Amino acid sequence: MAGKRAVGPEDLYELTALAEPQLAPGSQLATWVVISVDREQDGYRR
């Protein structure tokens, strides 16, 4: 196991979030939007 370390500012670029979940009516299908940080554009990417 690798040694533990504190989270740093650069680690935030590795985070990914899920948003806007939608369920298809009458089925078991779902969709969602994946959001990540775009370092080059200095913003979020969907």
Tens digit of each residue's pLDDT (9 = 90 or more) over 14-45: 999 999 999 999 999 999 999 999 989 888 89
Would residue 19 count as lying in a domain?
yes
Domain-located, residue 30: yes
**So what's the pLDDT on residue 3?**
86
Q: What per-residue confidence (pLDDT) applies to 35?
A: 96
Instruction: Give the predicted TM-score (pTM) of the model.
Output: 0.65
Structural domain boundaries, residue 20: 14-45
Assess contact for 34 and 21: CB atoms under 8 A.
no
Instruction: Give me the pLDDT at residue 21, please.
Output: 96
Whether residue 33 lies inside any domain: the answer is yes
Please give the pLDDT value at position 1.
60
Q: Does the residue 5 lie in any domain?
A: no
User: Which stretches does DSSP call E strand in the chain?
Assistant: 16-23, 30-38, 43-45
pLDDT value, residue 15: 92
3 within some domain: no
Q: Is residue 27 part of a domain?
A: yes
Report the b/e string of 6-39 with b at 16+ CB within 10 A.
eeeeeeeeeeeeeeeeeeeeeeeeeeeeeeeeee
Query: In this structure, is residue 1 part of a structural domain?
Result: no
In total, how many domains does the chain have? 1
| Structural domain includes residue 6 | no
